[in-house]
Amino acid sequence: MNRVPAIVLASTLTVLASLAIPSPSPAARSFGPDSIADLAEKAAPAVVNIDTVTRRQGAMTEFDPFFEFFGIPGNTQPRRPSEQRGVGSGFVLDASGLVVTNHHVITGSSGIKVTLQDGRSFEAKVVGQDPSSDLALLKIKASGLPTLRLAEAGRVRVGEWVVAIGSPLGLSTTVTAGIVSALNRDVAINERVAFIQTDAPINPGNSGGPLLNLEGEVIGVNTAIAARAQGIGFAIPVETVQSVTQQLRTTGRVERPWLGVMIEQLTPERARQLFVKTDPGVLVREVSEDSPAGKAGVLDGDVILQLDGKPVQTPSQLIQAVARRRVKEVVRLLVSREGQRKEFSVTLGAAPAPRPEPREGAADEPGNDGGR
């Protein structure tokens, strides 16, 4: 997988004083300007604008929010304690008022306001959020809302037309179109997610909004853009969205499978240092105490070659492969140890919960999980 190192989350912040190719869908076959317009008209009512307020204590820096976001600092005059405002996007998943967005859009917020296309605004409560996938589920007191349907997993194709709807720079209900540029992108901001890459224009403020196929189904959640580039945006794929939102909706948290190893890329230089063969694989730097891998017999210095018969050549491949499994599921690891190949059956555990992030006066305090 090609790794994209310089990434900017697609939210905006301001300061307050197998190779089987499925047949194209009917919508794809009839693609044209009218189909985009029809799609936008149908889908836009289910896309929301999200405004957040975060209270900051102590001196802070005044800056131009747009250029600072892209790494160009503004003025550096200290200010009195004040509030920081953010804007992002989301979409209605359920008519009862469940809204999907990015974790980074709402994290740390002391207030979250969801505004519908018809102008109605609601204070939102956090049902649950998952920093590891960068997804969150909100609830507003409304009913009978228009909704978006999640697409079927595994049906997204490179080159298919897609539409993004959101609030770039706070400009609500902005519609842009493009194609799926690539799948399974390994992006530096999150090794657990195999991102969809798209050239549909995405800007700060689009975070949390839907990436739609031409049938108006959600194939991803727009999350990030590549810094210093044009037409390179990234969306969390629908498989991840579906799994995470189901768990957040049920329990308010995500139970994530855990192997229990610290890993790194096995480069030729590192192999020479450790006097091991340079078989393509992932080096186990450390096995956590009482971890599933440790209980199965995996040791520090082992090189993981395969998981369930599929080659593992990068740390991200292993992390994503484990993330697609379930707690208590048994996986088979093929490792190289001092030139000998060994196979281990590992029963995945539940990842230990990280320390909760500070959220001063937040609207809610859900549990969240991480781990690898």
Q: Look at residue 72 in the predicted model and tell me its pLDDT.
A: 31
Domain 1-252, second-level architecture: Beta Barrel (2.40)
Active-site residue, from 35, 89, 109, 207: 207
Q: Please write the tens of the pLDDT for every residue from 50-87.
A: 999 887 655 443 333 332 222 333 444 455 556 788 89
SS (H, E, C) 324-345: CCCCCCEEEEEEEECCEEEEEE
Check if 207 is active-site. yes
* Amino acid at site 238: V
Bridge partners, 163 (sequence order): 177, 212
The pair of three-digit structure tokens given for residue 89, joined into one six-digit string: 């996007």
Burial class (CB in 10 A: 0-12, 13-18, 19+), 16: exposed
Q: Please write the tens of the pLDDT for every residue from 281-293.
A: 899 999 998 899 9
Active-site residue, from 103, 104, 133, 186: 104
CATH of domain 257-350: 2.30.42.10
Chain position carrying tokens 């995405």: 202
Angle, vertex CA 135, rays to CA 106 and CA 314, nearest 5: 130
Check if 104 is active-site. yes
Sign of CA dihedral 241, 247, 253, 256: negative
Q: Please write the tens of the pLDDT for every residue from 164-213.
A: 999 999 999 999 999 999 998 888 788 788 899 999 999 999 999 999 99
- pTM for the model stands at 0.74
Query: DSSP code of 241?
Result: H
Q: What is the mean pLDDT of residues 336-351?
A: 90
Which of 21-30, 110-119, 178-187, 195-204 has the lowest average pLDDT? Answer: 21-30
What is the secondary structure of 13-58 as a DSSP string? Answer: EEE----PPPPPPHHHHT-SHHHHHHHHHHHGGGEEEEEEEEEE-S
Q: Give the start-to-end residue ranges of the domains of the chain.
A: 1-252, 257-350
Active-site residue, from 134, 186, 302, 369: 134
